[in-house]
């Protein structure tokens, strides 16, 4: 799981509850304890360790769900794929993602995108969440404070989802 934020904190729970070995990748150490509480088996501080090398030490990733909208973050995990591994981008970076084909050819790896949010996706997600007790962590704001909530969300200061209450 590349990113332990609004999407990543849910992705860790889903992957854990689905029975996968979960590696959380994030900058710094401040999210490590919480990532492990959510179900991460491993945590990689990408400021201290190369994420691709860390993933290779663990045997290579089958899937990296890239939730952070950062081209450099997405590019940094491609070398960590195992055979037939896939980087699945759900965060949309402002700049293009550059990937050297040689990093994919040797492992038959791929980089794909996924546009979620269909009614079927939502239904499946809610059913799985109820079945496995996966819950989002939210920070609530009064509706009158919507501008503040937006500003904090855009500054990556909300943990993990901002919810407006009337």
- DSSP letters, 49-113, are S-HHHHHHHTT-EEEEEE-S--HHHHHHHGGGEEEEEEEEE-S--SSPPP--THHHHTTT-EEEE
Tens-place pLDDT, residues 138-148: 999 999 999 99
Q: Which two tokens stand for residue 46?
A: 């990408």
Cβ pair 53, 77 in contact under 8 A: no
pLDDT band for position 130 (cuts 50, 70, 90)? very high
Question: 3-state class of 128 per DSSP?
Answer: helix
pLDDT band for position 117 (cuts 50, 70, 90)? confident
Whether the predicted pLDDT of 32 surpasses 90 = yes
Mean pLDDT of the chain: 95
Q: Which two tokens stand for residue 59?
A: 């045997």
Higher pLDDT, 68 or 82: 82
Strand (E) positions, the chain?
A: 23-26, 42-45, 61-66, 81-89, 110-113, 138-142, 161-165
Whether the predicted pLDDT of 115 surpasses 90 = no
Q: What is the pLDDT of residue 91?
A: 85
Q: At 12, phi and psi to the nearest 5?
A: -60, -45
| Domains located in the chain, CATH noted | 6-134 (3.40.50.720), 136-165 (no CATH)
Q: Which two tokens stand for residue 121?
A: 């996706």
For the entire predicted model, the pTM comes to 0.91
């Amino acid at each position: 799981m590349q990113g332990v934020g609004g999407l990543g904190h849910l992705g860790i729970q889903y992957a854990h509850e689905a029975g996968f070995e979960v590696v959380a990748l994030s900058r710094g150490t401040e999210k490590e304890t919480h990532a492990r509480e959510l179900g991460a088996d491993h945590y990689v501080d990408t400021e201290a360790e190369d994420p691709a090398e860390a993933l290779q030490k663990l045997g290579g990733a089958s899937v990296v769900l890239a939730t952070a909208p950062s081209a450099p973050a997405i590019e940094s995990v491609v070398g960590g794929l195992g055979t037939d591994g896939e980087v699945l981008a759900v965060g949309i970076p402002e700049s293009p993602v550059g990937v050297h084909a040689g990093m994919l050819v040797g492992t038959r790896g791929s980089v794909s995108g996924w546009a979620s949010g269909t009614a079927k996706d939502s239904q499946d997600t809610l059913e799985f969440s109820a079945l496995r007790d996966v819950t989002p962590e939210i920070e609530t704001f009064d509706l009158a404070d919507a501008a503040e909530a937006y500003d904090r969300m855009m500054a990556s200061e909300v943990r993990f989802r901002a919810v407006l209450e009337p």
